[in-house]
Amino acid sequence: NAGVTQTPKFQVLKTGQSMTLQCAQDMNHEYMSWYRQDPGMGLRLIHYSVGAGITDQGEVPNGYNVSRSTTEDFPLRLLSAAPSQTSVYFCASRRLGRGSSPLHFGNGTRLTVT
Amino acid sequence: AQTVTQSQPEMSVQEAETVTLSCTYDTSENNYYLFWYKQPPSRQMILVIRQEAYKQQNATENRFSVNFQKAAKSFSLKISDSQLGDTAMYFCAFMIAYSGAGSYQLTFGKGTKLSVIP
């Protein structure tokens, strides 16, 4: 049972480069999300999705795009990387419906933009 | 909008002792869930314990328990018999308990870094 798989684990980009962070889950979770974690800031929501074809913005969406073509995958795209996007990125998913279904997290991607 | 406040950026505790991490939150909602997540140096995010706001009984998971005070909007985590493996960042998180736009989001506090000293 793989859970939530994120790739890559580490990435270094130059300012202006683009890249896609991959996220896949095998738990058939409807909800998927991307967070960024910065020192002293906790985790902040970037984008989320409640199902295939449905996405919405979180607290800090600027500079990021997402799409959800399948239930399993939720990639995060940086179109033109900036040093302010240096962070650790987490993908997380959960079951929707009644109950306090917790978020299941991937192991994170450490991104450095120089 | 919901906010979660963890007022202790760093704490330390001797091995085998008990420590309490504080968390307060602000919301106008009546039905919600609260969580504590642990992040060890490996960077994994691990669910420690959860509490439904409609339950008056405090949640307990082995050495971890919470003190949930709904009126005071307080949700502290108590770790008993602290172990070296408890050294980690601890995050308190809040989620509204109904379906609808924006209601699935978890709002996190900024975290408390706990060090267990041998």
Q: Counting beta carbons within 10 angstroms of the beta carbon of residue A65, is it exposed (0 to 12), middle (13 to 18) or buried (19 or more)?
A: middle
Nearest CA distance, B4 vs chain A (angstrom): 10
Q: What is the pLDDT of residue B101?
A: 52
For residue A88, what are the β-bridge partners?
Answer: A37, A110
Please state the rounded mean pLDDT for residues B54-67: 93
Q: Counting beta carbons within 10 angstroms of the beta carbon of residue A45, is it exposed (0 to 12), middle (13 to 18) or buried (19 or more)?
A: buried
Please state the rounded mean pLDDT for residues A86-94: 96
| B98 in reach of chain A (CB within 8 A) | no
Q: Do A42 and B50 touch (CB under 8 A)?
A: no
**Which single residue is written with the structure tokens 């997290």?**
A105
Q: Is B103 helix (H, G, I), strand (E, B) or coil?
A: coil
For residue A83, what are the β-bridge partners?
Answer: none
Q: If you ran DSSP here, which 8-state letter would residue B63 be given?
A: T
Q: What is the pLDDT of residue A100?
A: 63
CB A65 within 8 A of CB A79: yes
Nearest CA distance, B26 vs chain A (angstrom): 17
Where residue B99 falls among pLDDT bands split at 50, 70, 90?
A: low
As given in the structure block, the two tokens for residue B56 are 């008056």
Nearest CA distance, A34 vs chain B (angstrom): 11
| B29 in reach of chain A (CB within 8 A) | no
Q: How far apart are the C-alpha atoms of B47 and B50, rounded to whole Å?
A: 8
